[in-house]
Structure 1
Amino acid sequence: MLDIAEELSRWAGQGRDFAVATVVAVDGSAPRQPGAALAVDRDGTVIGSVSGGCVEGAVYELCERALDGGPAVRERFGYGDDDAFAVGLTCGGAIDVLVAPVRAGDPARAVLATALAAAARGEAAAVARVADGPAELLGHPLLVRPDGSYEGGLGGHPELDRTAAAESRAMLDAGRTGTLTIGAEGARCGRPLTLFVESSVPPPRMIVFGAVDFAAALVRAGKFLGYHVTVCDARPVFTTRARFPEADELVVDWPHRYLATTDVDARTALCVLTHDPKFDVPLLERALRLPVAYVGAMGSRRTHLERNERLREVGVTDEELAGLHSPIGLDLGARSPEETALSIAAEIVAALRGGSGVPLKGAHIPIHHEAGPPPTRVVTSMA
């Protein structure tokens, strides 16, 4: 649901009634992951997607029923061998979809409107909703903030809300979306509840060091992937809005000095394109010791080997250098800045998602990898 927060927040602000269908579980191969959502308003306007087209028609009908006074429901859609073209996922998997109405006068509407507005502004927040449990509790929302405060409720049991808020906050801290089960103690009728928790966190950062032509292309690729992109270079003549119109932020400073003062986290990608020892050695000395997701450094194989020696001379250990791979990016035969940016971006995605980077054709590997915690660091160097 939070993946279409901007549009839904606008609908809520306009006073529209709507129904939201959210993927809460995936079994096997499926085109969309948990959190993907589709919404329908009373005029029949549709935004979002839960399956890439496979089951949208059936989900649309469920949303219409919810808007006509129906309760929240959970439905499973999957592949059927008897009729591959009937309602189902012909990709072979199954998805569970939670469909819930958001109507005027519903107490949950105010909670969801607050959550949607926060997500649309890029603020950190989590929404926990009952995805499996007593029918009367399905879809009940709890909004949880980073400081642990919360509003809404899962059915009028304070202890249940406190437990759900604490568990949801832990998922928010990790930037995770998924399910959790609240034990029978405190749950209605002694039955455990399965909650679907969606975390909205600010966009991950991509910091591109070096205001070069390759950087301009990489900025565009980073924005396409949803990163908040910063370009940093010590040379003001090159670090201009005219050269990088799509960058979120331009910083004129020595790269290592800027990295020492800016905030990074386990989702941050650092792309070092300076290709100059006076910039990239002190920068990589610091970058290799940070708990970030990705560090890439541009340079020829000879430059790469010389840089390794310089880094050892300033105290970087072989263990810290062990993750330094060459070349940066996937082997696409890239030549132009745009092709090179695509190569780098593809490697970042593969690193974060656990992909191998090999062609799917002829490879006996899953198309969709299970989401897991991001790696502490992937360090690469370009030939």
Structure 2
Amino acid sequence: MLDIAEELDRWLAEGREFAVATVVSVGGSAPRGPGAALAVDSGGTVIGSVSGGCVEGAVYDLCADALRTGETLRERFGYSDEDAFAVGLTCGGIVDVLVTPVGADAPAREVLRAALATAARSGTAALARVVEGPPELLGRALLVRPDGSHTGGLGGHPDLDRTAAAEAGALLDAGRTGTVGLSEDGSHCPGGLTLLVETSVPPPRMIVFGAVDFAAALVRAGKFLGYHVTVCDARPVFATPARFPRADEVVVDWPHRYLRDTPTDGRTVLCVLTHDAKFDVPLLAEALRMPVAFVGAMGSRRTHEDRDRRLRQAGLSEDELSRLRSPIGLDLGARTPEETALSIAAEIVAARRGGTGVPLTGGAAPIHREATGRPPEEKAREAAA
């Protein structure tokens, strides 16, 4: 639900009543993951999506019914071999959705209002909701803040809120959305309740080093992917807001110095486009020892070999050097700045999601999947340790 927080926050400010359907679990080749949402207001206006189009009509009807009855419900949609064109996911997946009415007297309205206001302003919080369990608890909500404080409640046993807040706080620290199984007494024995925890965290950072012509196209691609994008270059004549109007920040500083003094985390993406040793080597020596998600550098294969040699002379280990993606980007045959930016963005997405970068045609691997193995941020922390 937090993925459409800005629009829903506006609806609440306007006093609208609405129902929101949220994906709570998926199986098989489902196009959208947990947390994806579709909402319908009392006038029939619809925003968002839960399936990319497969079951939107049926979910719309469920939202309209929930608005009329005031009841929260859970519904499953899946593929049927007998009737592939009936309501269902013809792509072969299964999607469970929770439909929650948010009328003027809805019990969770104020908790949802606070969660949506936080997410709409890129604040940090986690929203935990009961998505499976006793009917009287379905849809109950708890908002958890970074300091561990929480508002709202899930009902039931007094220990339930405390345990749920701790579990939601752990997911918030990781910046992940997911489900948690608990018992109704608040113990960690799953089976009684399932909570969907949606997290709102500030956008991940993309820092583009080198105010070159390719950087402007990469800035646009980074913004499209939802990053907070910074351009950094030591040359003030090139690093200007006029050249990079889509960037959130344009910084004039030596790249390695700026990176050393700038907060980063396990979601941060670093793209080095300078392909100049006096900038690249000190910058990459810093970057490859930091717990970030992605470090890539532009240049020819000859440039890469020279850069690799210089980094070894600077004392970087094999494990640290193995984190460097160079030459940056997937092999798309790119030539223009826009094509190159697409190539780089594709590699960033593949690294984040565990993709292979090979064509889907003729393949057998699942199209929609989570990243394999440990999260990139965990691998990065280990490499930097």
TM-score of the pair, normalised by structure 1 = 0.95
In structure 1, distance between residues paired with 2:168 and 2:344: 33
Name whichever of 364-373 and 128-137 sits farther off: 364-373
- Residue 83 of structure 1: SS of its match in structure 2? coil
| Deviation for aligned residue 1:242 | 1.2
- Residue 99 of structure 2: SS of its match in structure 1? strand
Partner of 1:10: 10
Partner of 1:381: none
Q: Is the 8 A contact 2:330 2:347 kept in 1?
A: yes
| Deviation for aligned residue 1:31 | 1.3
Percent of pairs identical after alignment?
A: 74
- Residue 68 of structure 1: SS of its match in structure 2? helix
Q: Aligned AA for 2:99?
A: V
Q: Aligned AA for 1:11?
A: W
Partner of 2:123: 123
Partner of 2:375: 374
Q: Is the 8 A contact 2:126 2:200 kept in 1?
A: yes
In structure 2, distance between residues paired with 1:233 and 1:50: 41
| Unpaired stretches in structure 2, ≥5 consecutive residues | 381-385
In structure 2, distance between residues paired with 1:307 and 1:106: 60
| Deviation for aligned residue 1:370 | 2.0
Partner of 2:256: 256
Q: Is the 8 A contact 1:267 1:374 kept in 2?
A: no
| Deviation for aligned residue 1:320 | 1.4
| Unpaired stretches in structure 1, ≥5 consecutive residues | 379-383
Name whichever of 157-166 and 215-224 sits farther off: 157-166
- Residue 3 of structure 2: SS of its match in structure 1? helix
Name whichever of 175-184 and 259-268 sits farther off: 175-184
Q: Aligned AA for 1:335?
A: R
1:266-291 deviation per Cα after TM superposition (whole angstroms, max 9, x unaligned): 10000001111111100000000001
Q: Aligned AA for 1:333?
A: G
Partner of 1:199: 199
Q: Is the 8 A contact 2:125 2:145 kept in 1?
A: yes
| Deviation for aligned residue 1:57 | 1.1
Name whichever of 58-67 and 338-347 sits farther off: 58-67
| Deviation for aligned residue 1:144 | 0.5
- Residue 348 of structure 1: SS of its match in structure 2? helix
In structure 2, distance between residues paired with 1:303 and 1:186: 57
- Quick check: 1:108 aligned with 2:114? no
- Residue 167 of structure 2: SS of its match in structure 1? helix
**Runs (4+) of structure 1 moved beyond 6 Å?**
none
Q: Is the 8 A contact 2:211 2:231 kept in 1?
A: yes
Q: Aligned AA for 2:206?
A: M
In structure 2, distance between residues paired with 1:363 and 1:70: 45
Name whichever of 230-239 and 321-330 sits farther off: 321-330
Partner of 2:308: 308
- Residue 108 of structure 2: SS of its match in structure 1? helix
- Quick check: 1:39 aligned with 2:39? yes
Partner of 2:383: none
- Residue 85 of structure 2: SS of its match in structure 1? coil
Partner of 1:63: 63
Q: Is the 8 A contact 1:175 1:200 kept in 2?
A: yes
Q: Aligned AA for 1:252?
A: V
Distance verdict in 2 for CA 1:197–1:371, change over 3 Å: farther
Partner of 2:354: 354
| Deviation for aligned residue 1:53 | 1.3
- Residue 265 of structure 1: SS of its match in structure 2? coil
In structure 1, distance between residues paired with 2:278 and 2:375: 31
- Residue 7 of structure 1: SS of its match in structure 2? helix
Q: Aligned AA for 1:214?
A: F
| Deviation for aligned residue 1:70 | 3.4
| Deviation for aligned residue 1:313 | 1.5
| Deviation for aligned residue 1:324 | 3.0
